[in-house]
Amino acid sequence: MSSYCVESARTTPPQSSVDDEKDPSTHAKVENAGEVVTRTQQWRILSSTCLVAITVIGLNQTFGVFQAYYGRQKSVQEGVLAGDDFLNRPLISTVGSMSSGGLVAAFGIFYYPYLPVLGCHVRSLCAAATAFVTLGFFGASMSHNLASIIGCQGTLVGIGSGILIYVLGPILPEYFPQRGGLAQGVMYASAALGGMIWSFALTGLLETVGIRWTLGSVALVNMVILGIASVLALPPRRFKKRSTHIIGWKTIRDPLFLSLAIVNLTQPLVLTLPMGYGPIFAESLGVSISKASYLVAINSGVGVLVRPGTGWLADRFGYLNMLMIATAVYCLATFTLWLPAATVSNVGLYIGMCVFHGLVNGVFLILINTAQKTLFGAEMYYPKSGAMTSIRGVGLVISAPIAGALLPRKSASDLQGRDFTGLILYTGLMLIVSLLALGHVRWLDAKRNGWKLAR
């Protein structure tokens, strides 16, 4: 057994970390102290998650480039789709929703409680996930119909992506007890950087070498970068007390838990719609397909600049507060910028929407794990977060197909701005529901634990 495995398997009680000792805010942290966290561990887990974010999450954020391509007759001419597959927008959207990792997330309630016992096996698990992603893109490069694309780029890539995102993601804030928001902000800034890079790279590759070589190139890049991320991965931090039990009905009936569940469902339903459907929507306003793809880069580029700051602010002014502000901004931008852009076919308004969505797009993903750790505590963090992850996974899987079903069955080049009105109204409605649920969580938390401005 390697020294790394032996270290993970030690049964002696862990010492209190320096960061935990400095935090007098909760008595629970003193009672349930975690092992000492070193700077080397922090750099390793942060580097690992950032590499995953640049590749896997960055690609997920730019699936709109693939979606715009698959929705054109050129995809049939190149032989990757057959017949009128390019008109089946709900199924094409399914590729993006499945590749986001929602399939794995949907089962989080069953495996999250056992993440703390992974130990050294976390690296083997990440290596297996890397193989899934690589094989998925290679398989898609050899496909001849939509079913093959769904099976490879959707299912195989989705399984690999889900393992990487939903195993390493919740581990990251545990190694940054006082700066969990900042750490998550850096991770998702890397995702935004990846989204910006992939937007330009995919558009250029599709125009020069075609879809098959593009997918093959993506497979090779993922194999190398995710392989490095797997080597750097660390297991969950050890605490004196960890629950490995799946939550019961008493927890599920808790009003705070139910309200947070609504947030974890409604946010993923509309989280990436302005990016996923951005190239198609911009094209409906008269923008060329290549320039439409660059709007995704604008969205991601804004995120690179603001996401670390978002996490830093949340560490000081409260995770729930920042989630509510971001949801409100997204909702207002949807009704005041995106909806008018569709009704009057105004590209300038949509560029404004891209900027505002880029400002708040990653806030939910950055803060939700840290917010839930604050609400649930270290002992129950994984069981309760696992249930929330399952709900989030369902939202991710059904998000794009629902959105695709709200659009007319037309070629992407035949769509008009007004065709997106139903999709935009649906987005705004889900955000209103999410904002109300977040407000209820904030109120219940204050009622139980006392009012705190930064929460």
**pLDDT tens-digit map of 242-275:** 666 777 788 788 899 999 999 999 999 998 888 8
pTM attached to this predicted model: 0.79
Find the domain containing 343 and state its range: 40-449
Query: In this prediction, what percent of the chain has a pLDDT beyond 70?
Result: 90
Q: Mutual orientation of helices 347-360 and 319-333 as an angle, nearest 10°? A: 170
Q: What is the mean pLDDT of the segment spanning 10-30?
A: 38
pLDDT by residue (tens digit) across 365-392? 888 878 887 888 766 777 888 889 899 9
pLDDT at 436: 97
- Whether 91 and 409 have beta carbons less than 8 Å apart is answered as no
Question: Residue 257: how many CB atoms within 10 A of its CB?
Answer: 19
Is 414 buried (19+), middle (13-18) or exposed (0-12) by CB count in 10 A?
Answer: exposed
Q: DSSP for 140-209?
A: HHT--SHHHHIIIIIIIHHHHHHHHHHHHHHHGGGG-SS-HHHHHHHHHHHHHHHHHHHHHHHHHHHHHT
Mean of all residue pLDDT scores within the chain: 84
Inside any domain, residue 9: no
pLDDT at 20: 38
Alpha-carbon distance values, 362 to 148, 306, 428, 432, 436 (Å): 31, 9, 17, 18, 19
Inside any domain, residue 386: yes
Inside any domain, residue 271: yes
Inside any domain, residue 3: no
- The Cα–Cα gap between 2 and 125 comes to 16
Inside any domain, residue 33: no
Grade residue 344 by pLDDT with cuts at 50, 70 and 90: very high
Question: Which domain CATH number covers 278?
Answer: 1.20.1250.20
Grade residue 454 by pLDDT with cuts at 50, 70 and 90: low
Flag whether pLDDT at 17 surpasses 60: no
Q: What is the mean pLDDT of the segment spanning 117-139?
A: 91
pLDDT at 76: 86
Query: What's the number of domains the chain is made of?
Result: 1
Inside any domain, residue 373: yes
Flag whether pLDDT at 12 surpasses 60: no
Q: What is the mean pLDDT of the segment spanning 278-302?
A: 81
Inside any domain, residue 349: yes
Inside any domain, residue 17: no
pLDDT at 10: 40
Contacts of 28 (CB under 8 A, 6+ apart): 377, 378, 379
